[in-house]
Structure 1
């Protein structure tokens, strides 16, 4: 009878074992947070804000490492193949963990099967920006220039399959225009060339160009969002300027390699979500023009699936074939 009671008690206690273990897991050394883009871009900056904030609670430094190239596939592939022990994670986005699945012939990983989501962070709004000496004060001016000389205007993006690429292709499909695509390895080199007048325009994420807009180095002509942004209240949306069905936003999220033990995922997820909900973290990220919307893994999984379906449709509407 006594043995039976002890056995029953152990069964009752079992469900509580995992959360207890999750709280006691400690990383064995510094954690690498891979960013698949060059340093200085918005994805990199947000990753560094969160990495610095969670280092204390985790008891180890979280170090951001930039591995750019291949439309974000090189760095992301590195994480997919990393040991699933919680020591290597990544801050990715709709390109690395969505669009590459249907835009690259061989990305070298499966954006869904090879990763476990830790937390959704939110989304980047897109804004059309032009070099200062381009004779365009609004988006209709851009359309007129593009139609006058098809293919002569060139637009920069953060790589094939990025949000800035597909959203601009969608814009061209909606407006009947043709421009030449110039892909970059990330936001920083793109912005440098735009400021330097080496490319004409870009449909960039707001955080990557907000400082340059405010300093007068480049000019914003339209927001690709349903409503105006408080950081740029004077800039009208695409819809306000007569362009319908061309809005797009790029999400971002934290991931660990698939196969990482659940207690480790739970601990990392909890610390990242705590950071994303802190007023001071939100304030720092909001200044960049990024909309913080934390999602736990259970909320993020269906959101990611829906977003992938949305971007597949955007590529289809823009006439881009998968694998192109």
Structure 2
């Protein structure tokens, strides 16, 4: 018994001396706590599977899993214009293991469109990284007499309220893009809401509405087939898929910038070190060729923003769309 006790004591003493005599980096490594992440991360997409936002999220999730060394599990929580999924993450524990794919809806338009949101888009979240955006493009049918934005404005001024523009419904980005243009160009046009962008596009081709804003991705097939004509892109730069189509800024309307954007958010009070780790991983994931391929195929213009820059952008979006919604007296369907 005495021998065993002495042996155990000797082993313990040897181990202690090994740690003490080891170089400082080795001692730090031996005593440092496990770093984030140590278990899988839940990534909530507040929209249905299969759409552009979901495709972006799944590509990023796969790349982030490799960067972080832990699985990033994508979970779709659609409903209420993205508010259901956003609320879930707003109320989640601020540990970094539950993240949100926030968008121009949840953190841009919805704070003005929904008077009683179950979360505060600024106070209840910490932005992590902006991924990119899909801009809207103004299109008319190919047989239309309107061949340019100046043509459109001139006609709208001659016949106030007669020109119609369709959208996927009240308060959608397609509707708000039209309202933004109306206010910037100071013209009167009539909004025609539909139950989705597809039926609006059908009526555009049928001549039942004069024009519509739609995402570049959705518009491309009809544009390539020669069924519609693009007048201008609501983006800061021309879109690679439509290099010959000017931006509204080039035509004298720099405020007409409207896109569906996406990025990562975590609950407020998430430790800064965790936010920093996620931001760094997002930066690397966006440079992944596999992610870039998905982004290109879905018409996304990649634009990484870190946490502070993304936070400033979110506040500017909320202010912009709050003004548009209020001036246009817009209500959600």
TM-score range, shorter chain: 0.7 to 0.9
- CA distance in 2 between partners of 1:96 and 1:113 (Å): 13
Which stretch has the larger CA shift, 202-211 or 164-173?
202-211
Query: Deviations along 1:104-161, whole A, 9 cap, x unmatched?
Result: 211221001111212111333221123566654433555566564726624104651x
- CA distance in 2 between partners of 1:266 and 1:315 (Å): 34
Secondary structure (helix, strand or coil) at the match of 2:48 reads coil
Cα drift, residue 82 of structure 1: 3.3
- CA distance in 2 between partners of 1:172 and 1:100 (Å): 20
Residue 258 of structure 2 corresponds to: 249
**Gaps spanning 5+ residues in structure 1: where?**
1-12
The structure whose Rg is larger is 2
Match of residue 179, structure 1, among 165, 190, 201? 190
CA root-mean-square deviation:
3.5
Match of residue 38, structure 2, among 17, 26, 39? 26
Specify whether residues 310 and 180 from structure 1 end up closer, same or farther in structure 2 by C-alpha distance, changes over 3 A only: closer
- CA distance in 1 between partners of 2:245 and 2:234 (Å): 10
Which stretch has the larger CA shift, 102-111 or 268-277?
268-277
Contact 1:22-1:267 within 8 A present in 2 as well: no
Residues 1-324 of structure 1 aligned to structure 2 (within 5 Å): 23-28=35-40, 31-34=42-45, 36-57=46-67, 58-68=69-79, 70-131=80-141, 136-140=146-150, 142-143=152-153, 148=159, 150=161, 153-157=164-168, 160=171, 162-173=172-183, 174-182=185-193, 189-191=196-198, 193-195=200-202, 197=204, 200=209, 201-216=211-226, 218-238=228-248, 244-250=253-259, 251-315=261-325, 319-321=327-329
Secondary structure (helix, strand or coil) at the match of 1:32 reads strand
Cα drift, residue 304 of structure 1: 2.3
TM-score by length of 2: 0.73
Secondary structure (helix, strand or coil) at the match of 1:225 reads coil
Query: Deviations along 1:43-79, whole A, 9 cap, x unmatched?
Result: 22212221122223442242241513x3332332232
Specify whether residues 253 and 212 from structure 1 end up closer, same or farther in structure 2 by C-alpha distance, changes over 3 A only: farther
Contact 1:119-1:297 within 8 A present in 2 as well: yes
Specify whether residues 32 and 179 from structure 1 end up closer, same or farther in structure 2 by C-alpha distance, changes over 3 A only: same
Secondary structure (helix, strand or coil) at the match of 1:49 reads helix
- CA distance in 1 between partners of 2:153 and 2:243 (Å): 22
- CA distance in 2 between partners of 1:151 and 1:81 (Å): 46
- CA distance in 1 between partners of 2:194 and 2:140 (Å): 16
Specify whether residues 85 and 24 from structure 1 end up closer, same or farther in structure 2 by C-alpha distance, changes over 3 A only: closer
- CA distance in 2 between partners of 1:133 and 1:37 (Å): 35
Cα drift, residue 32 of structure 1: 3.4
Contact 2:48-2:76 within 8 A present in 1 as well: no
- CA distance in 1 between partners of 2:237 and 2:43 (Å): 37
Cα drift, residue 191 of structure 1: 3.5
TM-score by length of 1: 0.75
Specify whether residues 226 and 61 from structure 1 end up closer, same or farther in structure 2 by C-alpha distance, changes over 3 A only: closer
Cα drift, residue 240 of structure 1: 5.1
Contact 1:22-1:266 within 8 A present in 2 as well: no
Secondary structure (helix, strand or coil) at the match of 1:23 reads coil
**Gaps spanning 5+ residues in structure 2: where?**
1-24
